[in-house]
């Protein structure tokens, strides 16, 4: 896997990160440890989790693995997140100093480490002043509890505001943003990607296979069955499947991916991941797997080189069709136009 800077920091991570939302839920501890081993053996060094994944079980599973492999800890970059409730109290959620202090300490205990390399805010909190949140994060960096911090699921203006508030106060800046991003979900290219590029913040895409739609496991008008993942709520998962299945654009994208897969001899997952890994501002793509076999296939994307023509075809097929003002073609042209003396 190619080494890359973690956003605008000097820390190096692999181009594919290991997401661990399945740990303790769809993958038991033994399977989770086998997935960890395979990922690290393949040259990966970046593990992403969150306190709410399986109600803390994901962090604990990783922590027990680290406890048995002390020699490998120094080479691993660990990322986790805090924001959502882990208890029933009024201060057991959000981005207040009170909640983040407790959440960070609890993550450190479950992971069994003295510091976390990347601490991420799992979502925006409109009730807590951003100055309070950023000051806590700066204090955590100074105290050595975290090396860097980043965000997840932020809008473009939220990222930009946080960057400028941190700069104005001389606090440590964010280094990453973790958004949903894939060939099927490209809406962040309107504002989030330009905001990240402007701030020098690296993107860590989650759901890079769009919940399995880009893996080749779905077929037109054939409802998923068996182990096909529909999320934690199967009823809502079926609603989402029906909506995507009914959209012709979905199948145009999948057809384009399948065509490139046949040309390259790669799997649909590998083609989709290789496309995403090379997008502007992307630092590391987060891989999620229930089994070692799933991970094995995804890891094959690391050595896959798509041609410019193949990328262009994937770009064209996956370009968002909904043009909501001001995010239409005019905005795209303005974004790429070179200055000609004046505005």
Whether the CB-CB separation of 13 and 79 falls below 8 Å is answered with no
**Burial (0-12, 13-18, 19+ Cβ within 10 Å), 343:** exposed
Residues 6+ positions from 37 with CB-CB distance below 8 Å: none
Rounded CA-CA distance 163/174 in Å is: 7
The pLDDT of residue 69 = 83
Write b or e for each residue in 179-192: b if 16 or more Cβ atoms lie within 10 A of its Cβ, otherwise e. Answer: bbbbbbbbebbbbb
The closest alpha carbon to 166, from 202, 198, 136, belongs to 136
- 3-class SS of residue 182: coil
In a structure prediction context, what are the per-residue pLDDT tens digits for the chain, which is 343 residues long?
Answer: 999 999 999 999 999 999 999 999 999 999 999 999 999 999 999 999 999 999 999 999 999 999 998 756 778 999 999 999 998 899 999 999 999 999 999 999 999 999 999 999 999 999 999 999 999 999 999 999 999 999 999 999 999 999 999 999 999 999 999 999 999 999 999 999 999 999 999 999 999 999 899 998 888 988 877 555 555 566 767 778 888 999 999 999 999 999 999 999 999 999 999 999 999 999 999 999 999 999 999 999 999 999 999 999 999 999 988 777 887 665 555 454 444 444 3
The model's pTM is: 0.93
- Residue of 53, 149, 154, 181 marked catalytic: 53
Whether the CB-CB separation of 178 and 153 falls below 8 Å is answered with yes
Query: What residues does 202 pair with on adjacent strands?
Result: 176
Residue 278, Ramachandran bin (φ over 0: left; ψ between -120 and 50: alpha; else beta): alpha
**Structure-token match 């094995």, residue found:** 296
Distances (CA, A) of 6 to 33, 34, 92, 152, 192: 24, 25, 29, 15, 17
The closest alpha carbon to 110, from 45, 52, 25, belongs to 52
Rounded CA-CA distance 219/223 in Å is: 8
Rounded CA-CA distance 262/257 in Å is: 9
Rounded CA-CA distance 210/180 in Å is: 8
Concerning whether 53 is annotated as a catalytic residue, the answer is yes
Residues 6+ positions from 309 with CB-CB distance below 8 Å: none
């Amino acid at each position: 896997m190619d080494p890359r800077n973690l956003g605008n920091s000097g820390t190096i991570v692999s181009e594919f990160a290991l997401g661990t939302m399945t740990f303790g839920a769809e993958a038991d501890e033994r399977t989770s440890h086998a997935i960890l081993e395979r990922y690290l053996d393949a040259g990966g060094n970046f593990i992403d989790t969150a306190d709410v994944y399986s109600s803390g079980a994901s962090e604990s599973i990783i922590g027990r693995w680290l406890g048995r492999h002390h020699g490998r800890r120094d080479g691993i970059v660990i990322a986790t997140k805090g924001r959502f409730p882990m208890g029933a109290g009024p201060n057991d959620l959000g981005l207040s100093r009170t909640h983040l202090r407790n959440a960070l300490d609890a993550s450190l205990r479950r992971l069994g480490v003295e510091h976390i390399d990347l601490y991420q805010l799992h979502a925006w909190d409109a009730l807590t002043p951003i100055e309070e949140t950023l000051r806590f994060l700066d204090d955590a960096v100074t105290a050595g509890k975290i090396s860097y911090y980043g965000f997840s699921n932020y809008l473009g203006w939220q990222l930009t505001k946080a960057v400028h508030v941190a700069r104005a106060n001389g606090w440590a800046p964010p280094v990453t943003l973790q958004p949903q991003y894939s060939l099927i979900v490209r809406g962040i290219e309107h504002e989030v990607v330009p905001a990240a590029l402007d701030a020098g913040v690296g993107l860590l895409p989650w759901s890079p296979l769009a919940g399995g739609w880009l893996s080749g496991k779905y077929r037109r008008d054939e409802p998923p069955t068996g182990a096909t993942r529909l999320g934690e709520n199967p009823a809502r998962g079926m609603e989402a499947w029906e909506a995507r299945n009914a959209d012709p654009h979905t199948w145009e994208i999948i057809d384009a991916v399948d065509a490139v897969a046949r040309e390259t001899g790669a799997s649909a997952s590998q083609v989709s991941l290789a496309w995403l890994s090379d997008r502007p501002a992307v630092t590391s793509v987060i891989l999620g797997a229930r089994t070692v076999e799933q991970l094995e296939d995804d890891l094959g994307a690391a050595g896959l080189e798509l041609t410019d023509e193949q990328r262009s075809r994937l770009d064209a097929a996956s370009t968002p069709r909904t043009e909501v003002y001001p995010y239409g073609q005019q905005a795209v042209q303005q974004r790429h136009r070179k200055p000609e003396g004046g505005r």
